[in-house]
Every structure is written in structure tokens, then in C-alpha cells.
Amino acid sequence: MNLYFLVEGKLESKLYPKWLSYLLPELRQVKHFDAVTSNSYYLFNAKGYPKITEEDLPHAIANVNNIGLYDYLILCFDADEDTVEARQQDVYNTLTKQKIDLPIAKLEIVVQNRCAETWFLGNRKFYKLTPEDADLRAYTMFYNVADNDPELMPKHEQFHTIQQFHKAYFKRLCQERKVRFSEKLPGPVQEEAYLKQLIARVDETAHLNTFRHFYDLCQRIKQDSQYPTL
């Protein structure tokens, strides 16, 4: 089983290898796309949208087709202010416009709705019921992410976009917990314990549907590879 990951940015390039080490531990990361043998994955940081779909996706498909050893091409990027369906359609439009075919590998699209930080808000144990920070208390009164689906949280009036609010909400949670988080140094969200809390959230609720898609995809890959399940 070989996977080709095309991710949007710096945060994802740090996050996904750590999560894959827990979800698909038999896979090893290779530094070059043509270095795969078996049970390997390659990850490329596209450094932004729409570059990831307009430029890097066609290159990735050409690489996958030329090598002929990849089972999946997995595209991971933010929904931002679009719907998940609109971002998925953007990928299909690129394939149609550029007349691109992927005959061997299977294309999977993981849209982070609204962003990776939205997923991170799903850890109920990371959330404080009585935060000390005034802004965090205000965010909680506006939308309690411990009880309600973070992916459905609307924009707060203090922010220009929904994504900006979600990122600010999570950073306030980190400050409340006195932990460091940045795109370059994601910190606690990379740990297995954090990931397990997100898995528990989708197991116990109907929340975080785009994270559920990513987790279910990993489970399907594990089954296809006859890996033992977690």
C-alpha cells in the first residue's frame, strides 16, 4: 500500500505524518515521490490554495501515473469560507478542464471544514468549562464547542471570516491551557492522546464530519492492507 499526500500548508505537513504514525503505523514516509516501494507514503506541501488544486494537483497526478506504484492520491486542504462540496467540485473542475485522468490510484479529497483548527476544537477534554480568559468566555457564550459541532460554528461579529474566528477560538483555548501552538510548532494536537479524543468525538456524536471522513479513510486503507485495527 502506497499513499501520495498533497496537503495545503505548513501545519498539515507537520500534523499528518504524526497522525499517520498512529493510524497507519506500518507505513513509512519517503522524502521523494519516486522512492516508494511498499507500505510507504509521500507527502508534499503545496503551500496554499488555490495553488494546491490548480498547479500541484496536476503535477501530483502526473507523478502518480508515471510511477505506477501508488494506491491512493489524497488531497487535504481547508474549506475556508466555501462549502465542502464547492471545494470538492473545484478539484473535479480542474481534472475536467485540464483533461487529467488517474487510471491506477484512487483519488480521495479530505476537506478540513473550516480548517484544521476547527477539528482541534473537537477535543472536549482540552476545553475548560469555566475559562478565565474574558475573550474565551465570550466565545463560549456565543458557541460552546464542547456541546455543539465545531464545524457548524458561525462567524463571530469580531472577525471578518469564519476561519479566522475558529483559529482565534482554538488559540485562546491553548493560551488558557498554557500550551504553545503554531503552524510551525503544532504542539499538543500532534499527540496520540489528542487524536484519540477527536476519534472519541466522532464515535460518540454526529459532529466533525470532515474529520470523520479522514478517519474512516484511514480505517479503509488499513482494511485494504489487512492491517490490524486500533
- Listed in order, the ranges of the chain carrying CATH 3.40.50 are 2-115+209-224
Sign of CA pseudo-dihedral 13, 78, 35, 216: positive
Are 1 and 224 in contact by the 8 Å Cβ rule? The answer is yes
Note the pLDDT tens digit of each residue in 24-52: 999 999 999 999 999 999 999 999 999 99
Q: Which residues contact 199 (CB under 8 A, 6 or more apart)?
A: 215
pLDDT at 71: 97
Mind giving me the DSSP string for 96-142?
HHTT---SSSEEEEEEESS-HHHHHTT-TTTS-SS-S-HHHHHHHHH
pTM of the predicted structure, to 2 decimals: 0.95
Q: What is the CATH number of domain 2-115+209-224?
A: 3.40.50
Using CA atoms, how far apart are residues 7 and 11, in angstroms rounded to an integer?
Answer: 9
- Nearest residue to 201 via CA among 119, 78, 115: 119
Q: Which of 4, 38, 13, 30 is nearest to 226 (CA)?
A: 38
* Residue type at 71 in one-letter notation: D
pLDDT (tens digit, 9 = 90+) per residue, 74-117? 999 999 999 999 999 999 999 999 999 999 999 999 999 999 99
pLDDT band at 228; cut points 50, 70, 90: very low
Q: What is the dihedral of CA 54, 114, 198, 15, to 10 degrees?
A: 40
Q: Which residues, in sequence order, are CB contacts of 170 under 8 Å at separation 6+? A: 117, 118, 120, 121, 181
pLDDT band at 227 (very low <50, low <70, confident <90, very high): very low
Burial 204-224 (b: 16+ CB within 10 A, else e): eeebbebbbbbbebbeebbee
Of the pLDDT bands very low, low, confident and very high (cuts 50, 70, 90), residue 226 is low
